Structure 1
Amino acid sequence: MTGRPGYEALAPFFRIVEEGLSGLVEGADFFDTLAEDVVFEYVVSVPGYPRRVVGREAVAELYRGYGETMVLHSSDELAVHRDREASVVVLEYAVHGLAVSTGRAYDNRFVSVITINDRKITHWRDYLDPTAVFDAVGWPTRGK
């Protein structure tokens, strides 16, 4: 979870990541588990979303507006795969919520490849199903 105001729409995401990384990272909240110079890469994403974000505060700023687009109500289907020698954890999980603009259901599956050093996340590579986002927000508009 995060104690920072304005991130309530992401609470189920924070919970499932916390569960998947339990005992592996330290920090008071999700953002505090990130190294100051963390690198996030969005390998499979949606148009207009950045492909690479560097720095804890830059990641926090990127996620700040999430609730204007999507509001999550749950997360599940967690699978955790660890490579202790490489300090890598792969999380597979699903999130569920609603698109703010359309009220449509949002159900997406993610694979996050996370590198941890000194109990902080130093690298995060994310893969998602972009069609789940398109369907929820109604893009592209059918018939146009």
Structure 2
Amino acid sequence: MSIDDLEDFAALDPFFRIVREGLAGLVDGDHFFDLLAEDVVVEYVVSVPGYPRRVQGRRAVADLYRGYGDAMVLTGADELAVHRDPDGSVVVLEYAVHGRAVRSGRPYDNHFVSVITVKDRQVTHWRDYLDPVAVFRALGWPADPC
């Protein structure tokens, strides 16, 4: 793997763990980034303003996630439900993550649906859906009126 320092991503560890659990037996690799094909395409279908809609490449995903801990720190992930097609090439993961927004100190609880395509034991495509209101609540956006 060519991702420099995995400590840069410690704020996302619960997310990484639940994804590895959901994809167990279908993909190879020890860390989240190992699971991704070099040319993976990640689409954020339901997201928040300012977040990219599409990212291509393992390095680009890592670059996007590198600053996550500046905004949010996850403390847990649960409620995993795994739905697989019969040949295992498409997996739908439903899960929740929990943590705290760094600046506001507010709790962060969000639910995700990730539609993941696996080929040759690597993730080649990922479509992500989340609750943007949960992000807004945690970050305090828009700012509370004075």
Matches of 2:12 and 2:129 in 1, distance apart?
Answer: 17
Measure how far apart 1:28 and its partner are. 2.4
CA deviations on 1:90-118 (whole Å, 9 max, x unpaired) are 00000000000100000000000000000
Letter in 2 for 1:97: G
Q: Equivalences for 1:39-118 in 2 at 5 Å?
A: 39-85=41-87, 87-118=89-120
Tell me, what secondary structure is at the counterpart of 1:106?
strand
Matches of 1:139 and 1:116 in 2, distance apart?
Answer: 35
Matches of 2:18 and 2:31 in 1, distance apart?
Answer: 13
Question: TM-score, normalised on structure 1?
Answer: 0.96
2:6 is aligned with 1:4? yes
Letter in 1 for 2:23: L
CA deviations on 1:57-99 (whole Å, 9 max, x unpaired) are 0001100000000000000000000013371000000000000
| Structure 2 unaligned blocks of 5 or more | none
Of all paired residues, the percent bearing the same amino acid is 71
2:142 is matched with 140
Letter in 1 for 2:80: L
Runs of 4+ in structure 1 off by over 4 angstroms are none
Measure how far apart 1:27 and its partner are. 1.2
Matches of 1:105 and 1:142 in 2, distance apart?
Answer: 16
Letter in 1 for 2:24: S
Tell me, what secondary structure is at the counterpart of 1:5?
helix
Letter in 2 for 1:82: R
Question: TM-score, normalised on structure 2?
Answer: 0.94
Moved more, 4-13 or 44-53: 4-13
Matches of 1:54 and 1:68 in 2, distance apart?
Answer: 22
Tell me, what secondary structure is at the counterpart of 2:94?
strand
Measure how far apart 1:142 and its partner are. 2.5
Determine if contact 2:101/2:108 at 8 Å carries over to the other structure: yes
Tell me, what secondary structure is at the counterpart of 1:7?
helix
